[in-house]
Structures are given as C-alpha cells and as structure tokens.
Structure 1
Amino acid sequence: MSTTRVHLLRAVNVGGATLPMARLREIAAGLGATDVSTYIASGNLLCRPPADPDGFDRALEQAIETEFGFFREVISRDPGELQAALDAHPFGTGPDLSDAPYGHIYFLAGTPEPELADAFVARDFGAGERLAVIGRDLHIDYPVGPGKSKLTAASIAKGLGVPGTGRNLRTVAKLIALAG
C-alpha cells in the first residue's frame, strides 16, 4: 500500500490559471489515487498515489494541461521529507513558527548544481532576503514579506536550473499534520 504524499502544484488559482480543487481531487482519483484531499485553493493535493509517485505527478501534470490548457509542475514529497525540510529551515522557526513569519520553503523539482546554488544564494534580490539551498529545497526568509521581493518563480528556475513551488512555513506544517 502506498503512503500519503503531498503533491504541490505551482501557481494555480493565480494569474488566470484557475484550477478548482474539487476537479483536482477528481482528476487525482481518476488517475488511481486514493484518500484524496486538498488544502486551501493553492494547489496542495494530499493522496495515496498509485505505485509510482513520479509517474503519477507527470500524469497529473498532463491531465491538467489537457483539460485546462496550462502546464504546471507537480512536485511531491512525503510527510517525512516535508518535516525534514521544515526542520532544516536555517532562518529560525520556533515551536509556533513565530521566529520566521515570512519564512518559505521553495520545493524544487530536482537538486540544483552546487555552483548554481552557491551563485544564486549570493545574489541580492533587493529586499534583504536570506536564501539557502539544502538538497532539493530553497529556504527563503523574506524580512519584510514576499510582496516586496524581486525573487520570482522565473528567477528561481533560471538561477537554479530547476523549477519549483513555494509554501510558507505555516502551510508546510499544516500539510505535514494533514498527511501524517
């Protein structure tokens, strides 16, 4: 039996890319997933995928593109991987996450090359962001919130050589609780 995984979709229900969560659940179930649920309308799908999680992610991407006409990466992690990423967040979290009110983890589709990661985290995006690449996760601290930053999905994908999708620390913690 497969375990619950969290499938994170990049940039849905923003910028005209509308994807109803009820339909996302139906698509996932149609692809063979069980125990399907979503959390908030930003593309957080929790389910037990069929035997091959990566194959399920690619099938989900294709089904969404076919039906809705836009491509969005699907990046999945199991609850242990999410917890490890949250535990590794280097910019303070505290037991209630209050130490990092604008902390985010940007889950990457792969592990960036070390040279790209080093160059990327050394860049200045103009709002005092602190960045760290740990494995296949980009950790971000936005001292004044993400709205003031010039750090974008496009700049991350170009700079690190892999796409991804970000979630704030509270959302990551909630997804861990729901998946566990």
Structure 2
Amino acid sequence: MAKRIILLRAVNVGKAQLPMARLREIAEDLGATDVSTYIASGNLIADVPGNAAEFDRSLEKAIEKEFGFFRESISRTPAEIEKALEAHPFPVDEPKYSYVTFLLEKPTADAIKKAETYETGADRWKVIGTEMHIKYANGAGRPEMKDASIGRALKVPGTARNLNTVKKLIDLADG
C-alpha cells in the first residue's frame, strides 16, 4: 500500500455529481484503506494497493459505471505534490489566484510550443514536468487567458487545484 493523493477532474460541476461519501466507498471497494476526501471537488487521499496507475484507471471505470460519466483520475504521492508546490515558478501574492494543474502525463515539446502561441494577457502559465503552473492576474473566475484552449493544445488531460488546496492536501496526507 502506498499513500496517494487522487484528484478527479471536473466532478460536482454541471451534471457530473459525485457524492464524496460514495467516492470513499468506491475507493474502499477497490482495496484502498485510510480513505478520506477534502471538499466536494474530487480530492481523495488513500493508501492504495498495487500499481497506482492501475488503481486510478479502476477508479475511473467504477465511477463511469455507476454514475454514467467519465472523469480522469490523476494521482501523485504526497512528496510529488509537495515537489510540485515547491516548483511553482510565479510569485504568490494571493494563493487562490495561483494553481497547479496536475497532468496525466508530460506534454510533448511540440504541444507546449503550440500552447505558447495563445494570448494570455496578464495571466501566466508554465509546464514543469507533469504539472502546469498557472498564475491568474485577477483570479480563475476572471481569466485573461483561454486556459481550456491551452489545455487542449497540450493534448494531455489535467485537473487544477489552487495553492491553498494543494497545501491542505499535503497537510492531510501527512497528518
């Protein structure tokens, strides 16, 4: 068993409703232990059996089977999440305006180059390994950049969490 922070993309928005109590039960049904969630946006902390990527794919399938929608499951160890937080390349004036998007895999250099052609205004982003770091000038609710277009150009699914949430997930995993 290995401790993982599992992040689900785009749950509890629109019709993709996933109760966190049921998410915990599904994870336990798949063999996870010491399972907890943080806020209702698809943040799961658990000790998972076997190969982490296989667990993530099993979780995706179980959610799709029960709820009828597919959502990517992207997980990291607490140490990997902490390393991503430490690598954040932008000054943090307001943690809720700064994000880490955890990507399923590392985008290609060509995909990053294409994404760099999009106008960002005062917003900034940078890919470091398997994470895309973002700093919104005026918050994620009022972006100047087209982050969805940039994400599509990268050709890699991901899920973003603001730095407050990232820090809290690390604390919960360590505690």
Find the partner of 2:127 among 125, 129, 133.
Answer: 133
Match of 2:106 in 1: 111
What SS does the aligned partner of 1:75 have?
strand
Gaps (5+ residues) in structure 1?
none
Gaps (5+ residues) in structure 2?
none
* 1:171 pairs with 2:165: yes
Tell me which amino acid in the other structure corresponds to 2:135.
Answer: D
Written as runs of structure 1 = structure 2, the 5 A alignment for 1:1-180 is: 2-93=1-92, 98-125=93-120, 127-149=121-143, 151-153=146-148, 155-180=149-174
Residue 113 to residue 176, structure 1, CA distance change in 2 (3 Å): same
Deviation of the 1:100 alpha carbon: 4.3
TM-score by length of 1: 0.91
Query: Is 2:118–2:146's contact at 8 Å kept on the other side of the alignment?
Result: no
- For 1:36 and 1:101, locate their aligned partners in 2 and report how far apart those are by CA, in whole Å: 26
Deviation of the 1:152 alpha carbon: 4.2
Q: Percent identity at matched positions?
A: 54
Residue 105 to residue 4, structure 1, CA distance change in 2 (3 Å): same
- For 2:96 and 2:35, locate their aligned partners in 1 and report how far apart those are by CA, in whole Å: 29
| Count of aligned positions | 173
